[in-house]
A and B are shown apart, each in its own frame.
Chain A
Amino acid sequence: MHWQIFLQNVFGGIETGSLYALAALGVVLIYRVSDVTNFAQGEMAMFSTFVTYTIWVYSANAGFPYPYIAAFIGALIFSAIFGFLIERIFIRPTSDSSLLGKMIVTLGLILMVNGSAGAIFGTDSHYMQRAITGHIRFGNMIIRPHSFFVIGLAIVIMLVLFYMIKFTMFGVAIRATAQNDKVAKLMGVPTKKVTAFTWIMATMMGAIAGLMIAPATNVYTGMMADIHLKSFIAAVLGGFTSFVGPVIGGLMIGILDNLVGYYISTNWQTVIVYGFLIIILIFKPYGLFGEIPKKKV
């Protein structure tokens, strides 16, 4: 049945797309608050996933009854510390350099984090378990409960994030810092704490995206390269100035990727999808939902 295959592809696209959206939101959050484009988001997520994998293996070997849950909690704790340290050691000291300088720091972080992951965890590829194993059949469609878990988790995280940004005092602080950090500071907003906290949140979101994608890609040092680039393009497509845009951009890329892969060509899938997205970017340089910045001379 054709429509079932189509639906299965769309569903798979929503699953990966929600992970792109999660990673993209982390990038946008950091960009809005601290003016840094975190190119190392994907590599940091990869590193966190390696730590999660290690916890999972050790706790399973030690006979712990719920190794996956232990690994999940471990991932959250580790990524929070990791994000805090990265911000403290590398980002804060360079916060007064030029926009290009800030960009270069995170590009340097890509090399450092990737290299350290290879040095610490080795360059082999490892299998990682799904959150919920097994699969359900609907006629010809095969759907894994894991997919529902991924989509549900992504929706919950996004709702919490949007609620926080929109309605809590902390969200007001984030928006104030994003709009103008000097004025925010004068108004008594602890901008340094806000920046540190957004880095922690973004790293945690990246770690969750990495953990959720790991069963499909395996755990290895290059696991996030493609996902990271797609999440970045999702952020650009949706617009860096909006929080909803990246989510829609992520879903679009996920679905488009699956459909092109199935109906046109698997070999040329990446080329077609990227080509298409770059063409959109040329016509809508600030994304589908972004504001066009007004430049001052």
Chain B
Amino acid sequence: MAFFKLFNNNPYFKYILGSIIFVIIVFIDLQLGLFASRTVNLLIRVVYFSVVAIGFNILLGYAGQISLGHAAFMGFGAYLTAFISNNYGLGFLPTIILSGLIPMVFGVILGLVALRLERLYLAIATLGIGVTIEFVFREWVWFTNGFSGVRLSRPEIFGFAFNNSRHFLLLSTIILFIVILFTYNLINSKTGRALSAMRDSGHAAQAMGISLFKYKLIAFALSAFYVGIAGSLYAYAERYVHPSTWGAELSLDMLAMVVIGGLASIGGSVTGAGFLVFVPRLVQDLPLIGEITNINFILTGLAMILVIRFMPIGIYNWFDYKFIQPFYIKRLNLNKPGGDD
């Protein structure tokens, strides 16, 4: 009883407990090698896509602004990481932070565009900007090495090289949980409430003294920062950055993660990232269906449409309302659903 009460009353507890359990699992795996190395690589993908999805969710779920060009920021982060670590040899932490901060500046510029445009106009303009930046990656050989791509080595902290994928999984998991705690605090702060108010009604938010100018820029800057950091993790994880990765498909995948997992929810973002990484892999192993080429595209598209049609709040939130919260209510005799997210 006391345990459940703790769970329900202290909002941090859920996240900290989850973090600790995850890090412990990854740590045990490091010692015993529980997962196959293929699974470890997939888990790393889940981790960096989770960071992407959380960043994109701040923009789409919390602030209600759409962007179909965020793949460009992820690419920018990845290229920056490769460029900085190859040419200047900065350490892991300065590199990853710079790879978030510089896209953030460009995020502010995109935010300035978003001040003038709305809904589908914004979607089309950001799609155009994304494609433009993708072309820049192809042609700006000095920075990106064009179609040859850039290679880089695994990161090093205080002389410890993360050469093993399992070590890197542990490192990126820790970064993901720093990101999650930061986001949790952010969305429950004044800024987070201002973003939600802006999403629900721009006019009403303005009437309450919320500056749309300021918060639109904040939403775009923050999401670009997160996505840039995820790009940096991508670069370190894959150790190879190629210009054809950062097209509109990746932007659509980001949207799919957030929609499938659940808009305006951290758990939903992680669920969505896991869905997009694991489900196509699992289906590929099935007989008959798995042999269809491009089954991952078909499945992702279908899942997006089905979620919008049947559970617009997303898989995670649906599961939460349907099973987790009634469980609390029964245990604690609460009248209304507790918890948060």
Contacts and interface: CB of A to CB of B under 8 A. Distances in A.
Contact of B255 (A104, A235, A277): A104
A108 B304 contact: yes
B256 A108 contact: yes
A70 interface: no
A198 interface: no
B177 to A, nearest CB: 29
**Interchain residue pairs A-B with the least CB separation, the first 8:** A115-B297, A111-B301, A112-B301, A108-B304, A115-B298, A118-B294, A115-B294, A108-B301
Interface stretch (B40-48, B117-125, B220-228): B117-125
Nearest to B64: A100
A105 B304 contact: yes
A94 B311 CA distance: 12
Contacts of B292: 119
B309 to A, nearest CB: 5
- Chain B interface bracket (under 10, 10 to 19, 20 to 34, 35 or more): 35 or more
B203 interface: yes
B102 interface: no
Contact of B305 (A112, A116, A235, A281): A112
A105 B301 CA distance: 8
Interface of A: 31, 37, 39, 90, 93-94, 97-101, 103-105, 107-116, 118-119, 122-123, 225, 229, 232-233, 235-236, 240, 267-268, 270-271, 274-275, 277-278, 281-282, 285-286, 295, 297
Interface string B240-261: 0000000011001001100100
A262 B184 CA distance: 52
B204 interface: yes
Given A108-B308, A115-B296, A274 B132 contact: yes
Interface in B257-301: 259, 292-301
A236 B122 CA distance: 10
Contacts of B312: 97-98, 101
Nearest to A281: B125
A94 to B, nearest CB: 5
Given A119-B298, A274-B135, 18 more contacts: A90-B305, A97-B312, A100-B64, A101-B312, A103-B123, A105-B309, A107-B304, A109-B301, A116-B294, A118-B293, A119-B294, A123-B294, A232-B124, A270-B132, A278-B125, A281-B125, A282-B117, A285-B118
Nearest to B259: A104
Contacts of B139: 267-268, 271
Contacts of B219: none
B136 interface: yes
Nearest to A100: B66
Contacts of A275: 132
Contacts of B68: 107
A271 B135 contact: yes
B301 A110 contact: yes
A197 to B, nearest CB: 22
Contacts of A225: 248
Interface of B: 64, 66, 68, 113, 116-121, 123-125, 127-129, 131-132, 135-136, 139, 201, 203-204, 248-249, 252, 255-256, 259, 292-305, 308-309, 312
A258 to B, nearest CB: 17
A261 to B, nearest CB: 13
Nearest to A122: B293
Nearest to B68: A107
Nearest to B291: A119
A36 to B, nearest CB: 10
A115 B129 CA distance: 24
Given A103-B123, A119-B294, A285-B121, A111 B128 contact: no
Contacts of A277: 128
B203 A295 contact: yes
A115 B297 CA distance: 5
18 contacts: A94-B305, A94-B309, A100-B64, A103-B119, A103-B123, A107-B252, A112-B298, A118-B297, A119-B295, A123-B294, A229-B131, A235-B124, A271-B135, A278-B125, A281-B113, A281-B121, A281-B125, A282-B125
* Residue from A109, A110, A112, A233 with most neighbouring chain B CB atoms (10 Å): A112
Nearest to B129: A278
Given A270-B132, A278-B132, A297 B201 contact: yes
Contacts of A123: 293-294
B136 A271 contact: yes
A168 B277 CA distance: 51
Nearest to A89: B305
